[in-house]
Amino acid sequence: MRLKLTLSGFLLCFSVSGFAQSAADCAALTNFTLAGYQVEVTSARWFDDRSLPGGFNGPGMELPPHCHVEGMIDRRIGVNDVEYGIGFALNLPDNWNGRFLFQGGGGLNGTVGEPLGAQAAGGRAALLQGFAVVSNDTGHQAKGPFDSSFFEDQEATLNFYYKANPKVTEVAKLLVSDYYGQDIAYSYFVGCSTGGREGMLMTQRYPSYFDGVVSGAPAMRTSVSNIGIRWVGVQLNQAAPRDAQGLPVAGPMLDESERRLVIDSLKARCDGLDGAQDGLLFNPQACDFDPRQIACGIGGSTDNCLAPAKAEAIHMAMQGPTDSRGFQVYPGFAYDPGIDDPGFLGGILNSANNPPEGPGSTGVLEFDIDSAVLASTRPDLIMGESTSVMMSSFADQGGKQILYHGAADPWFSVNETIRYYEEMAQFNGGLETVKDWSRFFHVPGMGHCQGGEETLDSFDMLSAIVDWVENDTAPDRITATGRSMPDTSRPLCAWPAYPHYDGSGDINSAANYSCKEVE
């Protein structure tokens, strides 16, 4: 208790007094060296104010006074005479609150994103709140989206999988302390997709580095999740229209009226299981929808039923892949109204590539699961997986973890994250024990990390993890809103509880929902 009170006073002092570092203090960081490390601070610039333009990931942002640092760790020449190194950027705000945040990456990384800490921060980036924020490219510089050429270099591969982030953490923490002349009070990691995997790896392999970690839609084992995606495409292709050569035509298997029939039937069966007919399926555990329930007796689709072959194709696709022995290789994708989304990635039933794995699944009718599973176990493919359930050191040191995942994610099944969470809980003493330091939140309608035609994809996981770490207030519920559903809010409940409408009051207000245990 004494430590907590001391640190609380420490943070209060920060927020009241500020640090008022100068441009000269910022520029002096270019002289930073660290024994045993090959570190270059290539630039350190002070900004009284700086504006960032809006883009795909969100609106523009006005940044507070801060020192912007860029650097490189372990610069070298690698395979094929390519220059490699771990590029990083660090934003040090003038109103530092004593906290440090590591911003996770995305995709195959390869670029240094602006260190803001905006993911899952409820619309107010961590930098704006006074966090020192770092980001990095995990050791390679991409020539384009999803540039995988770095996998030819061993060190670059190891850095991407797991080595770069702890190195950047060590260097960035010392830069922060050097700049402010104070130790960091609390350290956090927030990321989604690849960043979600990275956060999980920090809890599993470097349990003392962060006090709190938020991991969204984690890319836990991509060599296996790709099998899951390919499986969906192949199964949907079984009932897709054929071209002159008898091959499936590229594009969605279902037409607009068929997709609407599937989604309307899903909602009719499962939408009200949380007490509210609102298009959001918050109680998936009780949902027993099966597309074969709406199959026609014979023939093609009508306004009221689906062609049997198409109903069977959807059923098989959503079951997930099994091998020749019946072993479940990857969990099936969840039945959620978002599987029909027309957005950037597209829902599983509405993707031009059946689903968004790429052209590899288009036109394919057969899939050798056993061979694919064997190929996925190559050591060079699994070294970066974040599937370890051994978390005792992280928990014993007081670490806190929040996991979240969108139910309509077409790249990584929400059921995979649920599977991991439940297996991890069982290994570590059961759910009631694990809930003291790890919680999972299910987000209906949300696609990959964000977005969805009808979803509440804006929530403040950052404040939740901070309050849990620093005040020991565990998050039973976190309020969610979304641009696609204005004037609507719901609580996200810690799994396996779900929000249930109380039966009175504004049905669009989170205040009128209670977190209910699954019966």
Q: Give pLDDT tens digits for 454-495.
A: 999 999 999 999 999 999 999 999 999 999 999 999 999 999
Catalytic residue, from 140, 442, 448, 500: name it: 448
- pLDDT per residue over 73-95, tens digit each? 999 999 999 999 999 999 999 99
Spatial CA neighbour of 188 closest among 212, 164, 165, 157: 212
Taking the C-alpha atoms of residue 382 and residue 499, their distance in angstroms, rounded to an integer, is 36
- Cα gap 389→412, rounded to integer Å: 19
Q: Radius of gyration of the chain from Cα atoms?
A: 24
| CA nearest to 317, candidates 219, 242, 410, 444 | 410
Three-class SS string for 16-37? HHCCCCCHHHHHHHHHCCCCCC
Helix (H), strand (E) at residue 93:
strand 83-93
Q: Which residue has the higher pLDDT, 361 or 366?
A: 366
- Is this structure's pTM higher than 0.75? yes
Helix ranges, 62-218 (H): 126-129, 154-158, 164-180, 194-205
Residue 457 pLDDT: 98
Is residue 359 predicted with pLDDT exceeding 60? no
336 is catalytic: no
Q: Backbone phi, then psi, for 279, in 5-degree steps?
A: 85, 0
Nearest CA among 323, 332, 318, 322 for reference residue 253? 318
β-bridge pairing 186-192 and 212-216: parallel
**Rounded Cα–Cα distance for residues 91 and 113 (Å):** 11
Res 512 pLDDT > 80: yes
Which pLDDT band holds residue 355 (cuts at 50, 70, 90)? very low
- Say how many CA atoms lie within 13 Å of 205 toward its Cβ: 18
| Distance between start and end Cα atoms, the chain | 38
| Residue 287 reports pLDDT greater than 70 | yes
Q: Is 193 a catalytic residue?
A: yes
Considering the candidates 135, 193, 361, 413, report the single residue annotated as catalytic: 193
Two structure tokens written together for 359? 């052209």
Whether the per-residue pLDDT at 7 is higher than 60: the answer is: no
What pLDDT is attached to residue 57? 60
Three-class DSSP labels, 124-167:
CCHHHHCCEEEEECCCCCCCCCCCCHHHHCHHHHHHHHHHHHHH
Judged against a pLDDT cut of 50, whether residue 353 lies above it is answered with: no
Q: Is the pLDDT of residue 318 over 70?
A: yes
Give me the catalytic one of 94, 211, 409, 457: 409
What number is the average pLDDT over the span 300-319? 92
Distances (CA, A) of 501 to 282, 287, 405, 456: 11, 17, 22, 16
pLDDT at 20 (0 to 100) = 67
pLDDT at 350: 76
The yes-or-no answer on residue 409 being catalytic is: yes
Using 50, 70 and 90 to split pLDDT, how confident is the model at 389? very high
| Average model confidence (pLDDT) across the chain | 92
Residue 159, pLDDT > 90, answer yes
Give the C-alpha distances (Å, rounded to integers) separating 217 from 11, 101, 106, 199, 414: 31, 19, 11, 11, 7
User: Residues 56-65: pLDDT tens digits?
Assistant: 666 789 999 9
pLDDT of residue 3 exceeding 80, the answer is no
The three-class DSSP label of residue 223 is helix
pLDDT band at 519 (very low <50, low <70, confident <90, very high): confident
> What local confidence, expressed as pLDDT, does residue 17 receive?
46
Q: Is the pLDDT at 4 greater than 50, yes or no?
A: no
**Average of pLDDT values for 403-408?**
98
The yes-or-no verdict on residue 105 having pLDDT over 50 is yes
For the segment 182-233, what is each residue's pLDDT rounded down to a tens digit?
999 999 999 999 999 999 999 999 999 999 999 999 999 999 999 999 999 8
Inter-residue contact 376 to 227 (CB < 8 Å): yes
DSSP 338: G
The two counts, helices (H) then strands (E), for the chain are 15, 16
- Could you give the CA distance from residue 199 to residue 400 in angstroms, rounded to a whole number? 12
